[in-house]
Each structure stands twice: as C-alpha cells, then as structure tokens.
A and B are shown apart, each in its own frame.
Chain A
Amino acid sequence: MKTPRLILPALLALVMSVVPARAGGELNLFGWSEYIPQTVIDGFTKETGVKVNFETYASNEELLSKLVAGGGSYDLVQPSDYAAEVMIRQKLLSALDPKLIPNLQNLAPDFRHRAHDPEGAYTVPYMSGTVGIVVNTDKVKTPVKGYHDVFTPAFKDRIVVLNDTRELVTWALYTLNLPINSITPEALAKARPVVAEWVKLVKVFDSDSPKTALLNGDVDVGIVWSGEAALLWKENKKFVYVIPAEGAHQFIDVLAIPANAKNKEAAHQFINYILRPEVSVLISEAFPYTNPNLAARKLLSAEQLANPASYPPGTPKLETFRDIGKAAADVDRLVTDLKSAR
C-alpha cells in the first residue's frame, strides 16, 4: 500500500515549510521511493556541500499531481518517459544546459533522444526497465515464451500481474499485433475478448509488490516490473525472467529540472554526479534495473550482468509508452468492466 510511504514525505514537507530554505546551498529532490540509495545522496552532499532535501513518491501520477498543484518547489524530479513527455508539452520542465553535464557522454546513445524527448533537451535517463514474465521454474516445467503461454487454463489462479489497466490492454494488443500507442475504439473492441479471458485466470493484481505473491508461493508465474524480477532472481535462481516474444513495454525513468526550480545549478551538479561510473554502479547494486550508463556497466560484476531481468539477452522488441490522452479513460472503463464481470 502506498499510504505509509506518504507519511514520511508529509512530515518532511511539514518540517520544510517551517524551516526556511537557505538559498544556494540546498537541493530539493523529488524522486521515486526505493530508487536512489542514501549513500549516493550523502556522497553528493559530502563533495559539494549542497544539502539534499529528499522527498519521495510512489507513482508518476502522484508526481504530476504535486507538480501541477504547485505544492513545494522542487529542483530535480524523476518522472518516467510518458510523464516527462506530458510535462515537456505542458512547459513544466526547464531545458538542460549540456555544458554543465559533461558526463552525458557515459550514456548509451539508444537511451537518449527517444520519443518522449527527441532532442534530449529536457531529460537525462536514470534507469530503465521492462515489463516481462517471471516463471518459478520449480513449479513450471513447460517453456513460457510469451503472453499466450502465461494466460492458459493450466495456470488458472496461479498468475500475478500488475494492477494497471494500461499494461493489461497493452499485452493484449501485442498478442493481436496491434500498435500499443494509438488506442482506437476498434483496437479496444478486438482486445476486449482477450482481456476478458485473461482476467478470469489471474489470481492477484498487484503493482506495488508483485514479487510477494511469487515468494509466498501463492502463484507460479507473473507479469511484473523487471526490477522486481531482478530482486527475485537475486533471492533465488529458480525465478527466471523472460521478455515476452510478442513484444514488451520498456520504461525509461529520467531526471529533469522543473521550470520553477530555484537551484538549477545544484540540479545540474547532481545529474552530472550521478552519471559518474563509480556513483552509477552504486545505484545498480542497490536497484538492479537496466543501467543506461555504459561506463558504469563496465564496473558491474559478471553475476550482475548475467541477471536476465537487468540485462535481457538477445534483441527483444521493446517499446516505450506514449501519452494516450482521452483513450486512457476508455482503457480504464474496459478493464474495470471485465474485472467486475467475474
């Protein structure tokens, strides 16, 4: 649940509203919970003397709500690709000064200049991941390659999937060979019977911690965030991650500076600091997502690089989400309808 995570940020916000911020010496960082190690933040403060006020959120939606409500002035935020795209369009972000971020050269080129920020003018990739299949190979002996192998009657009530309406519909669109980012009523009509069959087979819908049901033995297969899958694999090698053959959702979480940031200089400094290989590798150790920093990858151990959830082998078909506008409400209604039909 998200509620308890909100308490600490709320307290922090309260404290910060009472203590006036010293201009120049502080960086207000608003990032995902469980994504930036405290050692990295401490290291930055030690080196630069800039005090970091770190607040966290649990979803892009929470970040967007806070940013548009004008509550709190943040110097650095950490949206996912599609949220960054909306923020750029709504002029909520400030353009970066590449001269202040020489370490940009460490990044793999294919993670920059993506559809959400074609010029790479506003965002710097932080970590990336995919949504794919986890199989408990102790229980499942048949090969599982794609969505069709997961949603079969044999796995009825043995499946966990993300509790996310857009994800569910995206997987159905992949099996139908339809585009995932232009969602028309016709496409939804075709996806409807597929999703209707699938929801009957699922045991648990959970976006916050889908690994729990797998670890507890309540389910044997799952479609989850690759970060969760990587942690499962670290825990026990029986949990194998597979990128669905039909195609998979890739997300790129980025760092960006809000338009009304007070300390843009420190924000640039922080971005440059995090792009250093020896710092970036600390993040990979704590949170084993796909690190877009090539220089940092050279410092990773063979075991870390072998984790299929962090660095999937081969060249799978991966696509990022684009903002689908009003169609989101149709997707939401469709899945709510099908879930309540059981």
Chain B
Amino acid sequence: MSPAPVIPTDSRTPHWRAWLLLAPMVAWLVLFVVVPTAILLVYSFCERDEVGRVLFSFTLENYRRVADPVYLRIFLRSIGYAGLTTIICIVVGYPVAYCIGRAREDWRQRLLLLVMVPFWTSFLIRTYAWITILKQEGLLNGFVQQLSPTAKPFDLLYTPTAVVIGLVYAYLPFMILPIYGSVEKLDGALIEAAHDLGAGPLRVFSSVIIPLTMPGIAAGTLLVFVPAVGMFAITDLMGGARVPLIGNVIQNQFLQARDWPFGAALGAVFMGLFALTYWIMLKLGAHSEDSVA
C-alpha cells in the first residue's frame, strides 16, 4: 500500500501523515488477517505426503472432496445449531440488556460486571462445570431427586440439547453487550413521543424500541452466529462427539488426520460462504433503505 499522492485542492484525500497513523493498524491486518488467509488459500490447493507434510504441487482434489454431500449436510447442521443458539441468545439476552440499559446509572456498571464475571474463568473449566451439573449423577439430577425421589432422572449430557445449552451459555454475553450499547443510547423522548401519539406498549416496543436497537441486535447476531458455527470443543465435551459439526471436521483434519490441505479447503469454502452471505445481506439492507427513502 503506497501513500496516496497529496493533492492540496482536495482536502478529503488522505495526507501521508494519515497513512502513518494508520500504519500500525494496516500492519496488524496484513500480518494477522491477510497473510494467514493467503497461506490457507495456498495450502488448500496443495497435496500432503504420508507423514502429513504439505507438498506444493497444484491440485483441485481437496475442493472436489469438499463438494461431497457428507460435508454439505454437516455444514447445514452447523448453521442450524448456530441459528438456534443465536435466536435463544436474542430472546434471553434482549430483556437482560434492556433492563441493564434502563437501570439507574450507578447500578449499570455493577450489573454489567455480573455479565462479565464468568470470563474471569477459563472457558474449558466453565464447560467442565456444566458437565458436573448435567451428568446423570450430577447436581441437576441430585436436586430433582431431592424434590421428588420418584422422578426419572434427566438424560441431558451428551445430547443435542446439552450442546445448545453449552453454546448459549458461552456466547450469551456477546449478545447482551452490543444490545446494551444500543439500549443505553436510546432516546427516552422518542418513546414518550410514541406514547403521546397513542401507541400502546406493544406498538412502542415493535415500532420504536426494536428498530432503534437494531444495530445492537445485528452486531450481537454476528458476534454469536459466526463463532458458534465453527465451535468444536463444546460438541466434543458436552455432546459426546456424537454428531460432528463443521468445526469438528476441520479440527480433525488438522490434528488426527493430518490432512492440512483438505482442512484448509474446508476452511476456505467456509470463509467464502460467510463472505457471500454478508455481501448479500449488505445488498438487501442497502436496497430496503433505498426503497424506504
């Protein structure tokens, strides 16, 4: 990236000093985003030898294997799990974020802290804690037995339900925080105006509050959905590795199968699909805004 020529007549063209200010950011992006992605792309067209070394000879074999319906089905299932997780996170997280955002100012920081506290413990330890709660002779079933000794114990651990519980638990804060950001900025005068104009509480919520906090919901959705699609540790630990998601398949290629080129091809296709979805959503968003205007 070379500095843009300085044309004094146009003040919007960035000065070389602006580029200098941006340099750390650009270097960071190149080093940690562009270069790794390029390596991934190059590997995805390579072959492997029997000990798993990457051989730099061009092949499309890896992409042919990705097109296998097996992986397509796993990919669709991963999107299903991540979608369900995102919806539950919105339903559970929105009221929490709204209450914190509308709470008295001196309470907000304390309540936010409560949302953050779990992050002080390692993610894996928190997942193991869930195993202790959900297992057959675990805390939940022990509690249920205390209440009614005849009840049949819940069979939760190592089921898809356990996977969704784990995913929601892991990503809920990433939904609450951006929505909180939107709620906090919400202009109370607009809500009052809606009431004055005769809107009931439901109408105010659906026509005023939701649209105004939409940026928070959108950001939260992105922050929850994208990492949830690729998650592999929760499916292994809480799902008993019974149903593979795309994250497990990719992890397996890099570790047990030692097939880095195939893993890279899966990763590249995965990334391409995300970019495509994002682009389509952007186009649709821009289009609907145009029609409103």
Enumerate chain A interface residues (CB-CB to B < 8 A).
1-4, 59, 61-62, 64-65, 68, 86-87, 89-90, 92, 157, 160, 163-165, 199, 202-206, 213, 216-218, 323, 325, 328-329, 332-333, 336-337, 339-340, 342
Contact = CB atoms under 8 A, between A and B. Distances in A.
Contacts of B50: 86, 89-90, 323, 325
A186 B216 CA distance: 55
- Tell me if B's interface is mostly helix, strand, loop or mixed: loop
B236 A61 contact: no
A89 B135 CA distance: 46
Nearest to A342: B243
A65 B52 contact: yes
Interface string B155-168: 10110000000000
A59 B70 contact: no
Contacts, number: 95
B250 to A, nearest CB: 11
4 closest A-B pairs by CB? A204-B240, A205-B241, A337-B70, A217-B137
B242 A336 contact: no
A310 B289 CA distance: 71
A205 B256 contact: no
B242 A1 contact: no
Contacts of B51: 64, 68, 86-87, 90, 92
A4 B123 CA distance: 11
Contacts of A163: 236, 241
Contacts of A333: 68, 70
B190 interface: no
A204 B243 contact: no
A199 B157 CA distance: 17
A218 B237 CA distance: 13
Given A1-B233, A59-B256, A218-B158, A336 B124 contact: no
Contacts of A3: 124, 233
B52 A218 contact: no
Interface residues on B, range: 20 to 34
A329 B52 contact: no
Nearest to A216: B135
B249 interface: yes
Contact of B244 (A86, A164, A206, A339): A339
B231 to A, nearest CB: 13
Contact of B137 (A202, A203, A216, A336): A216
B70 A340 contact: yes
A206 B241 contact: yes
Contacts of B237: 1
B259 interface: yes
Given A64-B51, A205-B242, A336 B258 contact: no
B7 interface: no
Nearest to A64: B51
Nearest to B157: A218
B37 interface: no
Nearest to B249: A336
Contacts of A339: 242-244
Given A160-B240, A202-B240, 19 more contacts: A1-B233, A3-B124, A59-B255, A59-B256, A61-B257, A64-B52, A68-B53, A202-B242, A203-B240, A204-B158, A213-B158, A216-B137, A329-B257, A333-B68, A337-B70, A339-B243, A340-B73, A340-B74, A340-B243
B255 A342 contact: no
A189 to B, nearest CB: 16
